[in-house]
Chain A
Amino acid sequence: MKTQLIEIKNGNTKLLFDKPGTYVVYFSNISGKISCKITSEKVKLYMIGLYDMNNSDKYSIQTEQIHTSPHSFSDLYILSLVRDTSSFIFSGLIRIEKNAQHTHAYQKNQNILLSKGGFVDSRPILEILADDVFCTHGSTSGPLSQDQLYYLRTKGLSKDAAEKASIEGLKSLVYERLESYKVIKFIKL
């Protein structure tokens, strides 16, 4: 079964996954609410969001991973790069209903604050009503890794170049994820 890529351009989208399969949902720099409901067994859902922000960009995004049937998997990864006076507001819900036993659900939100005036509001939410599941979420916010920047500079890169390289590195991790899900014909934005 081929992996299906769904690229979301409209901020308010409701997706229903009612057939087994592997799906990849990708979105970038949009505000709104993306709700993914998994009602079938054997669904593998990857959601990836990339927020590359400048100036006074403001994005507020809400995501939902809702599992109502057993034996499924969902994994959300959102990376935000907050520059200048931009702000990123994120709220991500993982909800596992009573019958959705043997669900594995993951969520990771990584926020890189690159400027003094940036702002991040992150709310990863879990509502778990089934017990035989495994569910984890994580959210980290902070500047670029100082260790990494230092390492690059000792290789001769200027401060700017080191930062740029680190940021590109983080973005390419997003693209690598997409590629690893065997999504063919993915075009970098």
Chain B
Amino acid sequence: MSDLHRRTLTELAAGLRQRAFSSVELTDELLGRIEASQGALNAFITVTRDTALEAARTADRALEGGGGGPLAGIPIAHKDIFCTAGVRTTCGSRMLDNFVSPYDATVVRRLRNAGAVMLGKTNMDEFAMGSSSETSHYGAVRNPWNRQLVPGGSSGGSAAAVAARLVPGATATDTGGSIRQPAALCGITGIKPTYGRVSRYGMIAFASSLDQGGVLAATAADAALMLREMAGFDANDSTSVDTPVPDYVAALEEPLAGLRIGLLKEFFDKGLDAGYERCVREALKVYESLGARLSEVSLPHLPLSVPVYYVVAPAEASSNLARYDGVRFGHRCENPRDLSDMYRRTRGEGFGAEVKRRIMTGTYVLSAGYYDAYYLKAQRVRALINEDFIRAFREVDVLMGPTTPTPAFAIGAKTADPITMYLNDIYTIGANLAGLPGISVPCGFVQQLPVGLQIVGPHFSEARVLNAAHAFQRATDWHTRVPEGYA
């Protein structure tokens, strides 16, 4: 039996180029693992076996000729929030159960152009609304470290797939922590770039001012390799930023000595699990040993992140999801009596409970008479949080702290109480509100469950953040741990 799945994406890219193995061989092995794991993990919504093998053959031909892009022949998975031409794109919702996208998201196109081979579309919280990947119309995703637990969310399918070594890398999106939180809970590396760094075109919108596409992979080096291909200005996305993309891979090895690390005081609060905190503090010691200087930094408005987020994100979502009306695509109820009946039943049937809750919340906070008290005030506080970060980055190069308050929790444990679920994103939301790049790297275990260290940098400092994460991974081996049964 082949064991190519044990290699990192970086190693696979090198092996493919050396023709140590073929992309078809690799793709075939991983497709086998995906299919074998599906019952246990439910990480995928759609597996594209035939087109994957076809793409792998094409990549092999290019590689044989000494050609092929930087990711030629590398199998990846896309979160099912990215539109893929000719392939069903569900966003984890019954509403889009029958939706075959007529076009590719910019991220999908760029990765394909780089030579990547798509194996399928990963499971996720419905419309990316959730922190546990339980709200999917296609059933909950399970954490490979313990199948009774959630993998985090909303990019839980991508995270579980990488953690279980079903794919070496996967795309994901992060609106309030949906890349970093599942990365932490699954013991892998996940980067959310600066808002505007990766095109949102073709990425189904949840909260447009917060959504950002990124990568889940085993290591920071792997993430750098994928992100380098995904990032860059896109004329189809007015919020994408036209600044050059640095060579993230080349920047990985830059020395860390002198790095000024700010410990986010507000993140080491009473909600943080004691064992989790010990792991994070150990990780910080590793940085000190690498020559970094630590200091405590306070962002006084940061504790307001969760309430601000749960006004802004639902407000935008309530508007973004208005297009799912049964008129042009997606679910339409049977035999509508009239227009109003069609709207009611289509949306009533098509959306799950969490999506409805957020649409209602968002509609409420934008309503006449409430707009000023909620939406406008939230935007003001958001600006204050942003200023806090900017002030902090005058003193330090990066901020560090835990990614989540606790390790993975049990499936069903928080579904009855949305507030405790929302609080799982308490440490990640700040970076979304301020549009900053953030990464989560594995930094230990508590109760046999992975713990994540979060690194947040100034706008467009992906190279710095990846470099810091990579230095840690050179000094530790947490990122090499694979859950039992998937090694």
Pair from one complex? no
